[in-house]
Structure 1
Amino acid sequence: MKINKKLLAVIMTLVIGSAALTGCGQKTEQPSVTPTESPAVDEVTPTETPVVDENAGGVTGEEVTGETDPTPAQETYFVAVDGIEMPAGMAMDSTMFADTYGIDTSLLNSYYVQMPMMNVHATEVAVFELKDAKDADKVMAGIEKRQKALVDQWKSYLPEQLELVENYKTAQKDNMILFVISPEADQIVQKFESAQ
């Protein structure tokens, strides 16, 4: 029996084609996915404009778009860091401020804390405008609390950042207090002290 090569090629093509189509043709039932409610997550957004916290009598670092003028603390911050390259940062919100510094905001007219956006930099600059300069010790106690927490945070992470935290600077001019953790801390303090 002689088999025609063309006929054999056609039969093989049909067998392979039907096998391929059969494999692709059947649909299996997919389990249905029901979306569940995800937990609420606080979104952290970079900001440069603080908002008045009417309950505390001070100013927080939360974002406001065009509603208020810069506070004296914020203006002092921008004068002190003008021309100095700083890592990407964001203003500390009022909740984090209460947790990290523990300063009673009723002692302050305003404050502004700029912290890094990423946890590879320890750079932090804070300016506090006191209602009464006699409360400076209470603000300094809050600064010491924050600095000690940062030492604990950085001591097993990045040694060069720990060195910055350990070499922090503070300065006081009238009713303004400055707290600086930065490679350019001396320059920032100098600008703060020479600001009007």
Structure 2
Amino acid sequence: MKKRMIFLMVTIVIGLVMIAGCSKDKPSTIESKLTAKEMVDQMVKEVEQPALMELKSDQVKDFYNLDPEKLEEYSIRIPMMNVKTNEIAILKVKDVKDVPAVESAVKERAENVKKQFEHYLPDQYENAKNYKLVTKGNYVLLVISDKADELVKVYDNFFNQK
């Protein structure tokens, strides 16, 4: 009887270990059906912004101090004229391990914008102080706008958790 009990307990333990080991599927991923550019286009369409221009790949390093090679795709819109702080950046990072470095670069960019307007235009300085940084999986969003909360809500609707 003792042998059967021990055998049964060992079998149960092995079964639980196997179940625990097999349940280590990859964590839920967050994806959007839209590209970064399509997301920014939609955000600007739904929430009016001043004139913005697309940042070119050679400018990413200068403005964001970020290697574009770390990004799978991105869309960065900055003001056409240097009298506004409005900025929208969606960065899809290739490797999840690089997300903290990208977040750090984005925070640095937001701080630089803030410093530019600190003694220049008070309303734009307030926008820059209240920037939004949102990370969803491999996506990093920066929004500087007086309508940042509205833009983030539109952005949140682009994602489905799998």
TM-score higher than 0.5 here? yes
**Offset, 1:128:** 0.2
Bigger fraction of residues in helix: 2
In structure 2, the partner of 1:133 is 96
Q: CA RMSD in A?
A: 1.4
Deviations 1:83-106 (A, max 9, x none): 211101111122322112111212
Deviations 1:13-55 (A, max 9, x none): xxxxxxxxxxxxxxxxxxxxxxxxxxxxxxxxxxxxxxxxxxx
Distance 1:137 1:77 in 2: 22
Aligned residues between the structures: 126
Work out which of the residue numbers 22, 39, 51 in structure 2 matches 1:76. 39
> How many percent identity over aligned positions?
35
Q: Are residues 1:118 and 2:64 paired?
A: no
Structure 2 unaligned blocks of 5 or more? 1-33
Deviation beyond 4 Å, 4+ runs, structure 1: none
Q: Are residues 1:147 and 2:110 paired?
A: yes
Q: Match of 2:143, as an amino acid?
A: V
Distance 1:190 1:168 in 2: 14
The answer as to whether partners of 2:57 and 2:68 remain within 8 angstroms in 1 is no
In structure 2, the partner of 1:194 is 157
In structure 1, the partner of 2:72 is 109
Deviations 1:62-116 (A, max 9, x none): xxxxxxxxx8211121233332111011111223221121112121111111111
In structure 2, the partner of 1:86 is 49
Deviations 1:138-168 (A, max 9, x none): 1111111111211121011101100100100
In structure 2, the partner of 1:176 is 139
Distance 2:54 2:100 in 1: 24
* Larger Rg over CA atoms: 1
The answer as to whether partners of 2:87 and 2:143 remain within 8 angstroms in 1 is yes
